[in-house]
Chains A and B, each alone.
Chain A
Amino acid sequence: MASTKIHAIYTDDDILMQAVKDTRAKHYHIEEVFTPFPVHGLDKAMGLPHTRLAVTSFLYGLVGLSVAILMMNFIMIEDWPQNIGGKPSFSFLENLPAFIPIMFELTVFFAAHLMVITFYLRSRLWPFKKAENPDVRTTDDLFLMEVLVENNNIEEMAQFFKNTGALEVNLINK
């Protein structure tokens, strides 16, 4: 389905933030905002729901912790108990302090890596993927807000975005 969009381009993140707030107040539909760097508070200004990535990270951490416990128990206690530094490995609990660094590391390892992989999957990113941003200048020094025209007056919208301090306002027909 063909949709008409307006690309409003800004030069400063503070002006962009204000423009995003004004646009939302006008009830225009913001499709996406492209920025050269993460802008603090932009997600809240755009009204995006809170990320649930932290919850997945916590769960992955628990998985990592469990893997570490089971792994150390199997390797050091069940499969091949050894006497290391006068501490025979016949009991998991008595050797627990030695396993804590591994438990900690694997918790962090699982939480971090699986969280990044989840993030990639959720954002539909993979190696060699073609970039989706509509204007290459957003990777340099410009901020781009993509707004759906829907049933609004295009002239009125263009004037509105000029007033919010946009450097350029482009109409995109796809």
Chain B
Amino acid sequence: MYTLSGKLKITAIIFMILGAIGLVYAFATAPTSIEEVKEILAAQEHHGNHEMAAGEHAVAHGDASHDDEHAEHVLHQLQNKPWAALYVGAFFFFMIALGALAFYAIQYAAQAGWSPVLFRVMEAITAYLLPGSIIVFILLALSGVHLNHLFIWMDPDVVATDEIIQNKSSYLNVPFFLIRAAIYIIGWNVFRYFLRKNSLKQDEANDNSYYRKNFKLSAAFLVFFIVTESMMSWDWIMSLDPHWFSTLFGWYVFSSLFVSAITVIALVTIYLKSRGYLPYVNDSHIHDLGKFMFGISIFWTYLWFSQFMLIWYSNIPEEVVYYVTRIEKYNLVFFGMVAINFLFPLLVLMNSEYKRINWFVVMTGVMILVGHYLDIYTMVMPATVGESWFIGVPEISAVLFFGGLFTFVVFNALTKAPLLAKRNPYIKESEHFHY
């Protein structure tokens, strides 16, 4: 049995407290009036880069009413900023739990022989699914009651003057949106609950009936998952840009959450092993997780590029605006995260031997997580805060808070059950797994 070390617990709690303080600060200091924004803009013009200030000048000082309009626009963006930061952080850690559940279900459905020694680690990571998904749902509901303006299609004033959104309003309306979110979240959590329950019961069972139940449950979950995950990505991320659409967006978000989840599984496994737990996990298991990290990173890049190239080539205004915003206003993060998510795993994890060296996997894993956080960041931010972005107190606080909560929930779940799923029919094969 694993016992939660005091040091880890305190670290997680300190992260949460620091994050909470930072978030309170971020919400408290968000501007509330146009006058405040004007002061901020004036200060920026003084301190900022001279060339840029001159450019802004020409745009902003066309006439007084335009000036007000610009300030109001920036006000909305700055008011959105802490909300968007909170949303990105909440979604990022939630998606890791969801991806771990998908990976876990794939192991069952494929009757994989190598992975059962890692089942308890995967189950523990999925423990964050319930709190994580509830937090995301609350944030969506708060958007639904107009506490923030993350989703502009929720604003009746915007919809009234926007024909494209009007045409989509039978799908994009707040009640249906929240009902759909509830269906996804309840579905995932119910599957998670029974998969975990059967897995624990299998430990004490005399036959493989619970294993067989989990096999069927996993197959059903994967069907439910790929449909709901796809719709979730349209609802929760793509609808932030309600005019824009991409048909492979569901896959794109899937690859992002999948690679992040596999990375976290590898990191938690390596951490537990370094603390003397999981004696039956050998470097071949780490090697296999490394292969998945490598492979899914390439898959992610393939989807990123497929989405980018078709839109770049056809150059249709309503599609290409998505990338124009990102390339013009988010150039460094946007291309930086492609480099981190593609080149780093490609070059570091290509060599077979390196996938067995723990610190190589840890280093790449940390970079993959940073890269995929930035991936979600560049999906959410351009539509919500536009050019008023920077990674500051709200963003870092949100990551600290949810990171702390995630760590606490996951490692607390690890203490609840033996770390070896001892009665799994493939456990012997998994213990002897050797590449």
Question: Chain A interface (Cβ within 8 Å of chain B)?
Answer: 41, 54, 58, 85-87, 97-98, 100-101
Asked whether, in the complex, the Cβ of A86 is within 8 Å of the Cβ of B305, the reply is no
Chain B hits for A86, CB < 8 A: 315
Q: Which residues of B contact A97 (CB under 8 A)?
A: 305, 308-309, 312-313
Listed from nearest, the 7 A-B pairs whose CB atoms lie closest are A97-B309, A97-B312, A85-B313, A100-B305, A86-B315, A98-B313, A97-B308
A85 with B309: CB separation less than 8 A = no
Beyond A41-B434, A54-B352, whether A98 also contacts B315 by CB under 8 A is: no
Instruction: For B352, list chain A residues within 8 Å (CB).
Output: 54
For this complex, 12 residue pairs linking A to B, each with C-beta atoms less than 8 Å apart, are: A41-B434, A54-B352, A85-B313, A85-B314, A87-B313, A87-B315, A97-B305, A97-B308, A97-B312, A97-B313, A100-B305, A100-B309
Chain B 104-116 interface 0/1 with A at a Cβ cutoff of 8 Å (1 = within) = 0000000000000
Q: How far is the CA of A86 from the CA of B305 in the complex (A)?
A: 20
CA distance A97 to B310 in the complex (A): 9
Expressed in whole angstroms, the minimum distance between the Cβ of B346 and any Cβ of chain A is: 11
Chain A contacts of B315 at CB under 8 A? 85-87
Q: How many A-B residue pairs have CB under 8 A?
A: 19
Q: What residues of chain A lie closer than 8 Å to B308, measured between beta carbons?
A: 97
Query: Which of A41, A58, A85, A97 is most buried by chain B, counting CB atoms within 10 A of its CB?
Result: A97
User: In the assembled complex, how far is the CB of residue B135 from the closest CB belonging to chain A, in whole angstroms?
Assistant: 38
B349-394 interface (Cβ within 8 A of A): 350, 352
Question: B297-329 interface mask toward A, CB cutoff 8 Å, 1 = contact, 0 = none?
Answer: 000000001001100111100000000000000
**Closest chain A residue to B309 by CB distance?**
A97
- Besides A54-B352, A58-B350, 4 other CB < 8 A contacts? A41-B434, A85-B315, A87-B315, A97-B305
CA distance A86 to B315 in the complex (A): 9
Residue on B nearest A86 in the bound complex, by CB:
B315
- Chain B residues near A54 (CB-CB < 8 A): 352
Residues of A near B314 (CB, < 8 A) are: 85
A98 lies within 8 A of B434 (CB): no
Q: Least Cβ distance of A99 to chain B in Å?
A: 10
CA distance A59 to B352 in the complex (A): 16
A56 shortest CB reach to chain B, Å: 14
CA distance A85 to B314 in the complex (A): 8
State the Cβ distance, B314 to closest chain A Cβ, in Å.
Answer: 8
Residues of A within 8 A of B434 (CB): 41
How many Å lie between the Cα of A58 and that of B315 in the bound state?
Answer: 35
Q: Which residue of B lies closest to A101 (CB)?
A: B309
> Which single residue of chain A is at the shortest CB-CB distance from B302?
A104
Instruction: Tell me how far the C-beta of B257 lies from the nearest C-beta in chain A, rounded to whole angstroms.
Output: 25
In the complex, chain B residues whose CB is within 8 Å of the CB of A101: 309
The minimal Cβ–Cβ distance linking B112 to chain A, given in whole angstroms, is 16
A41–B434 CA distance with the chains assembled, in angstroms: 9
Residue of B nearest to A85 (CB): B313
List the B residue with the shortest CB-CB distance to A84.
Answer: B313
Q: How far is the CB of B300 from chain A (nearest CB, A)?
A: 15
Q: Write out the residue numbers on chain B whose beta carbons fall within 8 Å of the beta carbon of A41.
A: 434
> In the complex, how many angstroms separate the beta carbon of A113 from the nearest chain B beta carbon?
20
Q: Return B357 CB to nearest CB of chain A, in Å.
A: 16
A135 to B350, CA, bound (A): 39
Chain A residue nearest in CB terms to B434: A41
Chain A: CB-nearest residue to B312: A97
> Residues of B contacting A98 with CB < 8 Å?
309, 313
CA distance A85 to B315 in the complex (A): 9
What residues of B have a CB within 8 angstroms of the CB of A85 in the complex?
Answer: 313-315
How far is A100 from B308 in the complex, measured between Cα atoms in Å? 12
Bound together, the chains give a CA A58 to CA B352 distance in angstroms of 13
User: Which residues between 371 and 428 of chain B lie within 8 Å of chain A, taking CB atoms?
Assistant: none
Q: Which residue of A lies closest to B306 (CB)?
A: A101
Query: Once the chains are docked, how many angstroms separate the CA of A87 from the CA of B312?
Result: 10
Nearest to B351 among chain A residues (CB) is A54
Q: Give complex CA distance A86, B313 in Å.
A: 9
Report the minimum CB–CB distance from B271 to chain A (whole Å).
29
What 1/0 mask marks residues of chain B from 235 to 271 whose CB sits below 8 Å from any chain A CB? 0000000000000000000000000000000000000
**Which residues from 21 to 63 on chain B have a C-beta closer than 8 Å to any C-beta of chain A?**
none
Closest A residue to B305 by beta carbon equals A100
- The smallest C-beta distance from A108 to any residue of chain B, in angstroms, reads 12
Contacts of B313 in A (CB 8 A): 85, 87, 97-98
User: Which B residues, 202 to 229, have Cβ-Cβ distances below 8 Å to chain A?
Assistant: none
The CA of A154 and the CA of B315, in the complex, are separated in Å by 78
Chain A residue at smallest Cβ distance from B350: A58
Look across to chain B and name the residue whose beta carbon is closest to the beta carbon of A58: B350
Q: Roughly how many angstroms separate A41 CA and B284 CA in the complex, as a whole number?
A: 13
A54-B305 Cα distance, complex, nearest whole Å: 26
Q: Which residue of B lies closest to A55 (CB)?
A: B351
Quote the shortest CB–CB distance from B365 to chain A (angstroms). 23
What are the residues of chain B within 8 A of A100 when measuring CB–CB? 305, 309
Q: Please, how many angstroms separate the alpha-carbon atoms of A54 and B355 in the complex?
A: 15
Cα(A98)–Cα(B308), bound, Å: 11
Q: How far is the CB of A91 from chain B (nearest CB, A)?
A: 14
Using CB atoms, name the residue of chain A closest to B308: A97
